[in-house]
Amino acid sequence: MSPLHMGVLAAAADTEVVIGTGETIVFWVLAPVALAGALGMVLSRNAVHSALWLVATMLSLGVFYVVQEAPFLGAAQIIVYTGAIMILFLFVLMLVGRETSDSVVETLRGQRVAAIVLGIGFAGLVGAGIARATEDLPVVGLTAVQGTVGGPAAGNVEAIAAVLYGRFVLAFEVTGALLIVAAVGALLLTHAEREPGTARSQKERSRARFLTDRPQTLPGPGVYARANSIAAPGRLPDGSPAPSSFATGVEPVQVDELPRTGSVGAEREGLPHAGGTDAALGTIGGGTTGPVPGSGEDAPR
């Protein structure tokens, strides 16, 4: 039914492994890159650098797949793993913050040695298992399994499609259902409950705002230029605090102010606009209601 069976039957295909020059070059260039990426991922202190090293490894593996006549697998590896999943990793790492690097203090005594020993042991177990399992498998050759481009069987993409949607269609659909359940579960756990239809649109909010007395935005706190605390309220033009700028939950504080700076040079020269633009325009004078904390005379000489 599947190409695999036909391949096993036609085991007379050449089992001699011939590696082309291009494949050899690609291997000897990219294998060190993949290995260095894996080591760099473990060894680098910065989490984003670790993720980047892993990207290098995954890219190399993707190219290996392509070179070994599995172009679809290679493209899927690059698009799905390097393109989407690692970007999501980076997304989280960047949200955590760029200064987060690993602490060099060992919290468990002997942790590194134990990790290295256990890691080597695990690699040995897995490697031995796979080696034993594939020891006596008959080698039929790639062409027998997936055909070639332009040949009788159509090639890698069609072969994967036939296996995935033919022989393993149940496993494929079960995996799909599992992924959907996982996605729905994640949505359910992070979803904030809100009555549907209660969210107001921008147009509605804008209209509601223009029906009030204040269509414009609230004034900000007086942190600009003369104080750097949000407890300092914004000033009205006469210098009195603006009530609408009080921050919620913070007692408004009258901060000490710098004297209003006039044009110092002009005062020295005794010019008519000494005392700054305020004096020249007449904005401070008889009409002010609040205290005037500083005037041109107090300006530092």
Partner 1 sequence: MTVFAAADQPTLVDFGNDVWWIVLIKIVGIFGVLVLMTLFAIVFERKVVARMQQRIGPNRVGPRGYLQSLADGLKLAFKEDIMPALADKPVYFLAPVIATIPAFLAFSVIPLGPTVSIFGERTPLQLVDSPIGVLIVLAASAMGVYGIVLGGWASGSTYPLLGSLRSAAQMISYEIAMGLSIVAVFLYAGSMSTSEIVAAQADGTELSFFGLEFTGPSWYAVLLPVSFVIYVIAVVGETNRAPFDLPEAESELVGGFHTEYSSLKFALFFLAEYINIVTVSALAATLFLGGWRAPWPISIWDGANTGWWPLLWFFAKVVVALFFFVWLRGTLPRLRYDQFMRFGWKVLVPVGLVWILVVATLRAVARESDLDAGQVAVFVGVPIALVLLGGLLLASRMRNRDTRVAAREAAAGGPAPAEPQVLDPQGRDRASGGFPVPPMDLVVPPSPRLRRRESVGAGTVVGTGRRSSSTTPEETDDV
Q: Which residues of the chain form contacts with partner 1 (CB under 8 A)?
A: 46, 48-49, 52, 55, 59, 62, 71-72, 74-76, 78-79, 82-84, 87-88, 90-91, 94-95, 98, 149-150, 155-157, 202, 236-238, 266, 269, 271-273, 280-283, 287-289
Residue 126 C-beta: closest distance to partner 1, Å: 29
* Residue number, 160 or 223, with CB nearest to partner 1: 160
CB atoms within 10 A of CB 121: 10
Residue 125 C-beta: closest distance to partner 1, Å: 34
Of 142, 158, 135, which is closest to residue 7 (Cα–Cα)?
142
* Residue number, 142 or 231, with CB nearest to partner 1: 142
* Residue number, 45 or 112, with CB nearest to partner 1: 45
* Separation of alpha carbons 130 and 259, rounded Å: 81
Residue 117 C-beta: closest distance to partner 1, Å: 32
Residue 154 C-beta: closest distance to partner 1, Å: 8
* Residue number, 46 or 143, with CB nearest to partner 1: 46
Determine whether 93 is exposed, middle or buried from the number of CB atoms within 10 Å of its CB (0-12, 13-18, 19+). middle
* Residue number, 122 or 165, with CB nearest to partner 1: 165
250: Cβ–Cβ under 8 A, 6 or more apart, which residues? 230, 231
Tokens matching residue 48: 């984003």
DSSP classification of residue 136: T
Q: How far is CA 259 from CA 85, 231, 283, in A?
A: 57, 20, 16
233: Cβ–Cβ under 8 A, 6 or more apart, which residues? 221, 222, 241, 242, 243, 245, 246, 252
Residue 101 C-beta: closest distance to partner 1, Å: 11
